[in-house]
Amino acid sequence: MFRYSLLFFTMTALALITAVPKASAEKLHCPNVTDNDEKNTEIARRYFQMGGMFLDKSDYVKSAESFECVLKFVPYSLTARYKLARAYDGMEVYSKAREQYELILVYDSKDAESLKPDIRKRLAEIKDLKDKVQTTVVAVEAPSTDEKTCPSVVQKSLQEVLAKATRLLDSKDWSRARTLIEETLGKLSGATQEQRTLCYSTDAGLQLLLLLGVANFNLNNLEASRDNFSVAFHIKSDANLPSKYASAKLLAFYQETLNAYFEMVKTEKSRLLRIKELEENYGVPPEPTENPSTPIEHTPSTDVATGKPMVFVCRVQDELLATQVKIIYRIDDGPAQEMSLEKLGQRRYALVLPKEMITFARFSYHLVALTGEGKEAGLWGSSAKPHVFLLQAGKPIDTPVDKPIDKPIDKPIDKPVDKPVDKPGTRPWTPRFFVTVGFGSEIGFISADKETEAGAITDNSSFGTGSAVFSAELGYYLAPKHRVSVLVGIGDVEVEGYEDGSTSTRYKEPVGTLRLFARYAFLFGSGRVRPYAGGGLGWANLVHTVRTDTIEEYGNELMDAHIMTGVFVNVVVGAQVCLTSSCRFTAHLEVNEYWNAWNADNEGESSSNVALHFLAGIGYHF
């Protein structure tokens, strides 16, 4: 009996042992998509949570099956696809991991852009890795990758939301309708542009775009409304506005947006035609999709000869935020000139010089990328070391030349210059205004036998402290190095004295200081630091405080003051520092000497009244 019992126990144990691997290898069950949208959403949410839990526990097989199920219900979930890729990566099924990572790289949503740097890094790491053999993994069937139709589950969701949004618009609940439609269309952010276009092209998708435009228009979000209608026009140029929402104002706005869209299409067709001409007629290869590895990517042409068109092509890094590219060039020994390249692609700029222009012996140039504010963002070559073509017998000789490109002129050979290059010292002079603001302080020389504010007479010569002075200057450049201006300065200082007839009762009162000068200055040099010197004439009321000893029995020293009022001669020495490449914004430091040529208080020997004013500020030149 014992023998049979032992045999039975052994067989049962073996059965249990062999059953365990089968149970662990069993595929996770994924339900089918139903007609109940709320139920579908709940199932997708549940499997998303399960996938995250399995991923945290490093159960990559179950995690992959869970996220495959999520994508069955929500085909364009960016987060689910990214976590699916990580699960395959953890399983060491690198081929499938690469497939999912690469799908995310073609998404153009903000969320996808934040993931792309890490994805590119990981793809480089697993580029050549082989899959680890998997014998028990049977993944859930992936959703169809056929991009000829929008997935049925997405179409159904769009139709249900369309019905709800229509009811909200009928009751003029514009805000809730907008929120509902934006949340629904936002779920397509994890799709490629082609996938989104397919879903927008469905009847429900197109109607939702139009209704979103209606809602934004009634909420006075005109730019958003214009964007919604433009997307609808891109899908179907003859899309009709729902008549029951078409007020006179909305119809006029709709027609205006439609006209602008067709004008944009016309411009885009013209641009594409120029790109095709550039690539077919001048042998320029198609534009690469990746971001350039250098700020300005440019390869000088090797097919340059007299009497042949000359082609310049470059690509600019996204990080430069450039809005234009210019070529600064010199023909033979002529003056420097500039021309703008045309943007023909996502990052590509091009310029074709017609063959009639190519009659020179030498052509030197460099490229500069500029931001929307006109600031220099990047260079290829430089004014000191331009790239040079020497043409002899119809063939170029590529060799450097020591002569730099310094000053562009106003008019290029074939068209006016859009804007001179913003470099100190390389810009042709044009009349300019400037305004500066500054802050500083001063000291005044008080000679002996001068009467103070408190009625005291100075018994020796000394320096008094002036007030803090805020100043502003408005001026005009008569020539590149000559400028005239008007300077106004104000300040306030607190002085002390004794009440009339009293030697013990003090008073304190603020006394204002004012100056108004007409000035001339000459600038030395035209580099980033530009010293200057000059002079001027004006009216001033200057207050300088000085400690005055009082009779001992009446206490402490008195903060007395000496006031100079009248006509002053101004001598100024300073330096202007360019804060931008165009020298449009500057900082300046200067020292002013004020000499009292005539005193309004008939103070004797006013010529001995002298003050030194130290000033620092910033300026804008236009």
Q: Please, which pLDDT band fits residue 145 given cuts at 50, 70 and 90?
A: very low
Mean pLDDT for the stretch of residues 247-275 = 85
For residue 75, the enclosing domain spans 25-125
Query: Cα separation of 387 and 363, whole Å?
Result: 8
Buried b (16+ CB within 10 A) or exposed e, 70-95: bbbbbbbbbbbbbbbbbbbbbbebbe
Final residue of a structural domain among 125, 141, 176: 125
pLDDT above 70 (res 321): yes
pLDDT above 50 (res 301): yes
Quote the DSSP letter at residue 589: E
Mean pLDDT for the stretch of residues 485-495 = 87
| 187 located within any domain | yes
What is the identity of the amino acid at 588?
Answer: H
Most confident among 156-160, 449-453, 504-508 (mean pLDDT): 156-160
Query: Cα separation of 351 and 575, whole Å?
Result: 41
Nearest to 207 by CA among 188, 235, 183: 235
Output the six-digit token pair for 147: 């991009």
Output the six-digit token pair for 33: 């998509």
CATH number at residue 328: 2.60.40.10
Nearest to 89 by CA among 54, 122, 41: 122
pLDDT above 50 (res 469): yes
User: What value does the mean pLDDT of the chain take?
Assistant: 80
Number of domains in the chain: 4
The answer on 53 and 188 residing in a single domain is no
Query: Cα separation of 288 and 283, whole Å?
Result: 15
| 382 located within any domain | yes
| 114 located within any domain | yes
Strands 585-599, 529-548: pairing kind: unpaired
The answer on 250 and 304 residing in a single domain is no
Query: Cα separation of 339 and 454, whole Å?
Result: 69
CATH number at residue 242: 1.25.40
Q: How close are the terminal C-alpha atoms of the chain, in Å? A: 111
pLDDT tens digits, residue range 34-65? Answer: 767 678 778 888 888 888 888 888 888 888 88
The answer on 575 and 450 residing in a single domain is yes
> What pLDDT was estimated at residue 362?
86
The answer on 589 and 471 residing in a single domain is yes
| 195 located within any domain | yes
Helix (H) or strand (E) holding 597: strand 585-599
In this structure, what are the phi and psi dihedrals at residue 15, rounded to the nearest 5 degrees? -65, -40
| 282 located within any domain | no
Final residue of a structural domain among 347, 373, 398: 398
Final residue of a structural domain among 265, 284, 309: 265
What is the identity of the amino acid at 402?
Answer: D
Q: Please, which pLDDT band fits residue 357 given cuts at 50, 70 and 90?
A: confident
Output the six-digit token pair for 617: 């500020």
Mean pLDDT for the stretch of residues 528-545 = 89
pLDDT above 80 (res 226): yes
The answer on 49 and 171 residing in a single domain is no
Cα–Cα distances (Å) from 301 to 298, 311, 398, in that order, read: 9, 7, 10
Query: Cα separation of 339 and 329, whole Å?
Result: 8
CATH number at residue 574: 2.40.160.20
Strands 376-380, 348-353: pairing kind: unpaired
More confident residue, 514 or 525: 514
Strands (E), 189-276: none
What is the identity of the amino acid at 206?
Answer: L
| 250 located within any domain | yes
The answer on 533 and 596 residing in a single domain is yes
pLDDT above 50 (res 15): no
The answer on 443 and 311 residing in a single domain is no
The answer on 307 and 211 residing in a single domain is no
The answer on 569 and 439 residing in a single domain is yes
Q: Calculate what percentage of the chain has a pLDDT beyond 70.
A: 81
The answer on 462 and 581 residing in a single domain is yes
- 251 contact partners, CB below 8 Å, separation of at least 6: 241
> What pLDDT was estimated at residue 111?
81
| 565 located within any domain | yes
pLDDT tens digits, residue range 169-219? Answer: 999 999 999 999 988 888 787 777 788 888 888 888 899 999 999 999 999
CATH number at residue 103: 1.25.40.10
CB-count burial class (<10 Å; 0-12, 13-18, 19+) for 271? middle
| 384 located within any domain | yes
The answer on 384 and 523 residing in a single domain is no
Query: Cα separation of 244 and 252, whole Å?
Result: 15
The answer on 543 and 441 residing in a single domain is yes
Sheet containing 342-343: give its strands across.
296-298, 310-316, 348-353, 342-343
